[in-house]
Amino acid sequence: MAADATSWATKSGFGKMAILFWAILAALPLIGYVRDDPSFDYYMFMGQSMLIYGTAVLGLNLLIGFNGQISLGHSAFFAVGAYTTAILMNFAGMPYWATIPIAAVVCFGAGFLFGLPALKLEGHYLALATFTLAIAVPQLLKYKAIAGWTGGVGGLLLEKPDPPFNLPLSPDQYLYYLCLFVSMLMFWFVYNLLRGRSGRAMMAIRDHPMAAGTMGIDTALYKTVTFGISAAITGVAGALSAITIAYVAPDSFTLQLAVSFLVGLVVGGIASLPGCILGGVFIVLVQNSAQSISDWMKVSFSLRYDVPAWAIYGVLLLLLMYFLPSGLMGGLIALKERLFGAKGPDSTDDPAPQASRND
Amino acid sequence: MDSEATPLLSVRDVTVRFGGVVALDAVSFDVAKGEITGLIGPNGAGKTTLFNCLSRLYQPSSGEILFEGASVLAIPRHRIASVGIGRTFQNVALFGKLTVLENVMVGRHSGTNSSFFANALRLGSVIAEQRAARNQAMELIDFMDLREFTHWPAGGLPFPIRKRVELARALAAKPKLLLLDEPAAGLNHEEVATLETQIRRVRDLQGVTVLLVEHHMSLVMSVSDKVVTVNFGRKIAEGTPDEVKRDPEVIRAYLGTAG
């Protein structure tokens, strides 16, 4: 029970842990000055991807984990964010950083508008409706009539930004800090929402929509705005991905991307903020390591053919779900409870109420 | 008395049909300000249907509901809390994954107004509002004797505790009229006695008018100033507990016709 409780929001320790966590992430690029590793820039690039996917998962988690609406189409908002940035940089000559808030606003609008018809749909039906977004958007981006703006099948090539003010950073170190700053801001916004009036209303709708309405919550408004905010956050992640990869193309935003957000969400932990980052790490690491495991198996068992990487990915996912049904974050909390006894996360200042339970 | 001149709640000829079934048939009664009114009747008589009309979950087929003299039938469901009508549910409708404190704080939603934007940036006004809401919630948690459960997810608590959480949440909205749907169901003898004092204190200390649907007869008869009886969707009696207890129609509804 404790693992999926949202009581973390009322705990005083959470904010301090979060600051420590982000401080550690901010210190990681400094390793590059100490160790002379030729592939360090590649690690920095992986770090950027993890933060970007983590932020995309955060957007999805706000919708699914905290508001109880499902989306299989968040790759579409990721794409809209990426293309907004790409088009503005390419055709309006905007600096990359200025395109990020615009991508957020555009995606908020798109999400809000999509949230309106979504009001009529629940559960599986909403899943199907959002699924159509994921399959339609890559094709729409290739559509000939708008190919002048989107670059059609070939996509758009962008300029990779250099560190400003002559900072002594490599471009990838700098982009890592850019991603870190933006995703930290997104997490801070969501954390603030969740511990305030708006977030409580979102979670109340998730747990009991009718009672939420009786408590004075405008459920229709809150659901559409939450859809908009969720899309905006995932769109910001898309904008960052366009900037860091310096390239957008329709086939990077397929249904498979939408599914990997969902996988990251479930693996990290539904309705868990730290779980979003873990989900982002999982998406990047496991997709890479499935291929390396495949290579390793071929060599060490001297196999004739390649072991399919996606099959390995599937097995990894199954094992994870079997051993950690409430995600990595749920697993960590359970481990903490096992090591330090009792019910860690809930016991802020109150005695255990088990004694008075009588059911 | 002027409370009789302008009743807090006035139910006038309210009829509800579900397809061919008439759940409520031209029911009329008044609830005077500051009183505790009991609404009784056999299962399926239409009591919860009436509650659902009052909290705008159902739209009556005909009739009128006046609250402080103004119709409530045109206002949307989410505005009913700020108008001053709060309620609990027969089967307890808590936010299961939220803690007891968070549940009660959701009850403050209608009394607060910070925006998404202000919340996301955690402006000073939000912090002040949050602190006030938390203090008010903690007072109600103490009032309902829930201190030890403050940080527990509400969904995992025993049924009688959840009922108390729900009452605290309803009170958090500072309602003028509180609708209690079978608050004593599932409670033991001792808990019903506590509930009775709590209902009285809600009325006496907080000045809340109470409309109570209940099957627990000794509770209804001892706590109510007035009792309204419905059967098969129609009002069959109205009066003081003593009058209603002696009413032949009421006795027939509960015990069946002899011979």
Model confidence at A348, in pLDDT bands (50, 70, 90)? Answer: very low
Contact A217 B87 (CB under 8 A): no
Q: What is the pLDDT of residue A315?
A: 85
Average pLDDT of span B189-201: 92
In terms of CA atoms, which chain B residue is nearest residue A226?
B116
Average pLDDT estimate for A234-249: 93
Q: How far is CA A43 from CA A120, A237, A247, B110, B235, in A?
A: 44, 19, 19, 49, 76
Residues of chain A found within 8 Å of residue B141, distances taken between Cβ atoms: none
* Angstroms from A194 CA to nearest CA on chain B: 9
| β-pair partners for B87 | B179
A2-254 fold = ABC transporter involved in vitamin B12 uptake, BtuC (1.10.3470)
- Determine contact, residues B151/A10, Cβ cutoff 8 Å: yes
Among A97-106, A226-235, B11-20, the range scoring the smallest mean pLDDT is: B11-20
Decide if A62 touches B, using CB distance below 8 A. no
- Tokens linked to B39: 């609404």
The answer to whether residues B166 and B89 touch, using CB atoms and an 8 Å cutoff, is yes
Q: Is A170 on the interface with B (CB under 8 A)?
A: no
CA of B162 vs chain A CAs: smallest distance (Å):
12
SS3 call for B15: strand
Q: Which of the four pLDDT bands, split at 50, 70 and 90, describes residue A40? A: confident
Q: Is B165 helix (H, G, I), strand (E, B) or coil?
A: helix
List chain A residues with CB under 8 Å of B99. 5-7, 10, 346
Mean pLDDT, all residues of chain A: 84
Q: What is the distance between the alpha carbons of residues A229 and A67, in angstroms, rounded to a whole number?
A: 11
CB pair distance less than 8 Å for A214 and B87: yes
Q: Which residue has the higher pLDDT, A136 or A342?
A: A136
Provide, as residue numbers in chain A, all residues whose Cβ is less than 8 Å from the Cβ of B86: 214
Assigned CATH class of B1-84+175-259 = alpha beta
**Positions of E strands within A182-320:** 247-248
Residues of chain B contacting A193 with CB distance shorter than 8 Å: 116, 119-120
Question: Closest chain A residue to B56 measured between Cα atoms?
Answer: A214
Size of interface A-B (CB pairs under 8 A): 146
Picking from A197, A211, A216, the nearest residue to B119 by CB comes out as A197
The 10 Å Cβ neighbour count of residue B168 is: 25
Which one-letter DSSP state was computed for residue A248?
E
* CA gap A330, A15 in Å, rounded: 19
Which residue of chain B has the CA closest to A349?
B151
A196 and B98 within 8 Å at the Cβ level: the answer is: no
Q: Is the pLDDT of residue A70 over 70?
A: yes
Tens of pLDDT, residues A264-282:
999 888 888 888 999 999 8
- Residue A204 sits at the chain B interface (C-beta within 8 Å): yes
Domain extent listing, chain B: 1-84+175-259, 96-174
Interface test with A, best of B56, B102, B126 (most A CBs within 10 A): B102
ipTM: 0.89
Q: What is the mean pLDDT of residues B242-258?
A: 81
The arithmetic mean of pLDDT across residues B153-168, rounded, is 93
Which pLDDT band holds residue A81 (cuts at 50, 70, 90)?
Answer: very high
Residue A46 pLDDT > 50: yes
**Amino acid at residue number B96:** G
Mean per-residue pLDDT for A35-40? Answer: 76
Residue B187: what residue type? L
pLDDT-derived band of residue A173, with 50, 70 and 90 as boundaries? confident
What CA–CA distance (Å, rounded) separates A158 from B68? 64
Which residues of A are less than 8 Å from B87 in CB distance?
A: 214
Strand pairing category for B209-213 and B177-181: parallel
B96 CA to chain A: closest CA distance, Å?
6
Question: Å from A69 to nearest chain B CA?
Answer: 16
Closest CA in chain B for residue A345: B151
pLDDT band at residue B180 using 50, 70 and 90 as cut-offs: very high
What SS3 class is residue A359? coil
- A207 part of contact set with chain B, CB < 8 Å: yes
Alpha-carbon distances of B163 from A200, A278, B118, B156, B192, rounded to whole Å: 20, 38, 33, 12, 12
Q: Do B99 and A208 touch (CB under 8 A)?
A: no
Task: Flag if B158 and A359 touch (Cβ within 8 Å).
Answer: yes
* Residue B64 per-residue DSSP state: E
How far is the alpha carbon of A79 from chain B, nearest alpha carbon, in Å? 24
Nearest alpha carbon to residue A181 among A25, A16, A45: A25
* For range A83-89, the mean pLDDT: 93
**Helix spans in A119-218 (H):** 123-142, 147-150, 171-194, 197-207, 209-214
Residue A154 has pLDDT above 60, yes or no: yes
Residue B206 backbone class (left: φ over 0; alpha: ψ -120 to 50; beta: rest): alpha
pLDDT of residue A150: 80
Please indicate whether, in this complex, the C-beta atoms of B81 and A346 are within 8 angstroms of each other: no
What is the pLDDT, as a whole number, of residue A342?
54
- For A:101-140, CB contacts with B below 8 A are none
B239 has which bridge partners?
B227
